[in-house]
Chains A and B, each alone.
Chain A
Amino acid sequence: MIRTKEDYIKSLKEHGHIVYFNGKRVEDITVHPAFIPHINAAAKTYELALQPEHELLMTATSHLTGKKVNRFTHIHQSVDDLIKKVQMLRLIAHETGSCFQRCVGCDALNATYMTTYDIDQKHGTNYHARFIEYLKKIQAENFMLAGGMTDPKGDRSKSPGEQADPDLFTHVVEKRDDGIIIRGAKAHQTGAANSHEILIMPTQTMREGDESYAVEAAIPLNAKGVIQIFGRQTNDGRKMEGGMDIGNPGFGLVGGETLVVFDNVFVPWERVFMCGEIDFSGILVERFATLHRQNYGGCKGGVNDVLIGATALAAEYQGTIKASHIRDKLAEMIHLVETVYSGSIACSAMGFKTPSGAYYPDPLLANCSKQNVTRHIYEIGRLAHDIAGGIIATMPSEADLKSGEIGKYVEKYLAGVKGVSTENRMKVLRLIENMTGGTALVESMHGAGSPQAQKVMYGRLGKLDMKVKLAKKLTGIEN
């Protein structure tokens, strides 16, 4: 069982999974600078669970075994569990200042738990019992899971079966007595490079004729035929240099995403939880999306608490902290963070019990919460840039600061208020740059679904007809 950070890193060393970065195979991701910050962030989900001051949020009691488990492997048994998940995410984000990746697997487990139950009720299959056995193993081993939903999708105007290349959507290419063969890929897979398994799910509602694409399965990431290609990030070359120019040297930025390729991967039947049930593909997608969108006010709220702190510190170091417009902008940043957080708490508080017994957040409110994140995090970043100043885009490097020839000039001309070292000022400005640059913001936009995906849900869940009736009633319009 994985308990500590050291256990987790050891498990990744022994994993033997195939990961590429920048055109080269990475034999041991645990010692490669492109991966270390992301591993450190995910490791926090193990470390904090062992600390008494965080145990209440980081752990839960398994409804299957009665044993204490990491909350990331837990099936929500109450509204309180839903709220605790969001609180936990804010807590961990305070420690990392970046994505810690493990929520996606938690959400995949919960969506699968609910949906396999429903499939069995309608079709008489035994997916739920299979899944429970799988879940018990995940809880006992404390594995980290990736949640694989997004397919590459090729030509977005065409259905899976209409694509020029059928593999642009992940699908079953062969059914055998002992299992199935999977081919395709999952894109943007947060944390997959340092996860143990991936739970793949259909990427969208599947229609008649696309049964082979309605597949859900748990696949070890070291299975034969699984290949991961790690994505580039803004300023990732700085990770190779080390030092303060990374901005957040311990934990990097965002989660670290891979394109996960399934090149004819065998999956035994006991790890298959949907195979052709197109009528449940849509609800599985909706549930996973809702559970994941529920999170964003928690994790992004927490990450941006750190950003607000960094911005206030930069203002203090630059002597602007007492200016009324700076105080006002900091207050606005706090307002925006608490707004996204309150959305995540609200959808959790309005959560309800599904037929499976697992609890589920209010889907409309969860989608609103994520939609606010796509907007407010950009605005928070804009305010951070405003307060920090153009220096975050023009600042010399750490090497310049430490240069024997020109370091004295950097030290002298980047100085802020008396008593604060130039190095400290540069450190906090780099952190702001890191947290508000390209990749960091795009994650808020597209992670857990692009803005339009939430708008589609508003159309379905927004009760527009009832709102029209309300207006008619007040105005006396009868038809």
Chain B
Amino acid sequence: MKKVAVKFCGGCDPGYDRVDYLERIRAGGENHIEWVAIDNSDFDALLLINGCQRACAEKDLKPVSGQVTSVKDSKSNPDEIVKMLLK
């Protein structure tokens, strides 16, 4: 199981339903991903969920050792995001 943490932007005027999109990623990663809190430093990958191209979740990001995947729209199939997280 790969440990993945999530960070959202604030969601001032998002272009898609960020929470629903994450749920679809979670469903796609079932049995392969363990979702952990971001303040738990022991994670393998970080998923950033942004509502738009401004990508506020990327701002002020503390250095992380694992892979960072930043989502800015819902164009990609959530399964593609799961594949990226599991790389």
The residues of A with any CB-CB pair to B shorter than 8 Å are: 52-58, 80, 84, 87-88, 90-91, 94, 302, 305
Q: Please name the residue on chain B nearest to A90 by beta carbon.
A: B12
Inter-chain contact A91/B8, CB cutoff 8 Å: no
A214 to B73 Cα, complex, angstroms: 52
Q: A80 to B10, alpha carbons, bound, how many Å?
A: 13
Given contacts A90-B12, A91-B10, A91-B11, contact A56 B19 (CB under 8 A): no
Determine if B86 is an interface residue (Cβ-Cβ < 8 Å).
Answer: no
When each residue 51-72 of chain B gets 1 if its CB lies under 8 Å from chain A and 0 otherwise, what string results?
A: 0000011010000000000000
Contact of B49 among A53, A57, A84 (CB under 8 A): A53
Tell me how far the C-beta of B36 lies from the nearest C-beta in chain A, rounded to whole angstroms: 13
Partner of A91, one of B12, B57, B59: B12
Closest partner residue, chain B, to A59 (CB atom): B10
A53 CB contact (under 8 Å) in B11, B13, B59: B11
* Least CB distance, A229 to chain B, in whole angstroms: 36
Say whether B10 contacts A56, CB under 8 Å: yes
B6 touches A94 (CB 8 A): no
Q: Considering only CB atoms, which chain B residue lies closest to A53 in the complex? A: B8
Q: When the two chains form their complex, are residues B6 and A56 in contact, meaning their CB atoms are under 8 A apart?
A: no
Given A52-B8, A53-B19, A56-B8, A90 contacting B57 (CB threshold 8 A): no
* Most A-side CB within 10 Å, residue of B8, B19, B57: B8
Say yes or no: B13 contacts A90, CB within 8 Å.
Answer: yes
Is B10 within 8 A of A87, CB to CB? yes
Query: B9 and A56: CB pair below 8 A?
Result: yes
Contact check, A55 vs B13: say whether CB atoms are below 8 A apart. Answer: no
A302 to B18, CA, bound (A): 18
30 CB < 8 A contacts A-B: A52-B6, A53-B11, A53-B18, A53-B19, A53-B49, A54-B8, A54-B10, A55-B8, A55-B10, A56-B8, A56-B9, A56-B10, A56-B57, A57-B11, A57-B12, A80-B59, A84-B10, A87-B10, A87-B12, A87-B13, A88-B10, A88-B12, A90-B13, A91-B10, A91-B11, A91-B12, A91-B13, A94-B13, A302-B13, A305-B13
Report the separation of the CA atoms of residues A88 and B12 in the bound assembly, to the nearest whole angstrom. 6
Report chain A residues within 8 Å CB of B9: 56
- State the B residues within 8 Å of A (CB): 6, 8-13, 18-19, 49, 56-57, 59
Residues of B within 8 A of A56 (CB): 8-10, 56-57
Please name the residue on chain B nearest to A95 by beta carbon: B11
A84 to B12, CA, bound (A): 9
A84 to B19, CA, bound (A): 20
Given A53-B19, A57-B12, 5 further pairs, Cβ under 8 A: A53-B11, A84-B10, A91-B12, A91-B13, A305-B13
Residue ID in chain A nearest B9 by CB atoms: A56
Roughly how many angstroms separate A52 CA and B19 CA in the complex, as a whole number? 10
Determine how close the nearest CB of chain B comes to the CB of A88; give it in whole angstroms: 7
> Which A residues lie within 8 Å of B57 (CB)?
56
Chain A residue contacts of B13, Cβ below 8 A: 87, 90-91, 94, 302, 305
* A302 CA / B6 CA spacing, docked (Å): 26
Residues of B within 8 A of A54 (CB): 8, 10-11
Chain B contacts of A58 at CB under 8 A? Answer: 10
Task: Specify which chain A residues have a CB less than 8 angstroms from the CB of B59 in the assembled complex.
Answer: 80
B25 to chain A, nearest CB (A): 13
Inter-chain contacts of B19 with A (CB < 8 A): 53
CB distance from B32 to the nearest CB of A (A): 22
Task: Provide the residues of chain B in CB contact with A80, threshold 8 Å.
Answer: 59
B8 to chain A, nearest CB (A): 4
For the complex formed, measure the closest distance between the CB of B63 and the CB atoms of chain A, giving whole angstroms.
18
Greatest chain A CB density within 10 A among B8, B10, B11, B12 is at B12
Q: List residues of chain B with CB within 8 A of the CB of A53.
A: 8, 11, 18-19, 49
Chain B residues near A91 (CB-CB < 8 A): 10-13
Residue ID in chain B nearest A92 by CB atoms: B12
What are the residues of chain B within 8 A of A55 when measuring CB–CB? 8, 10
CA distance A53 to B71 in the complex (A): 14
User: Which residues in A have their C-beta under 8 angstroms from that of B18?
Assistant: 53
Whole-angstrom CA separation of A58 from B9 in the bound complex: 11
B49 shortest CB reach to chain A, Å: 7
Nearest CB of A to B57, in Å: 7
> In the complex, A57 Cα to B8 Cα: how many Å?
10
Question: What separation, in Å, do the CA atoms of A91 and B12 have in the docked complex?
Answer: 4
Cβ-closest 7 pairs across A and B = A57-B10, A87-B12, A56-B10, A53-B8, A91-B12, A90-B12, A54-B11
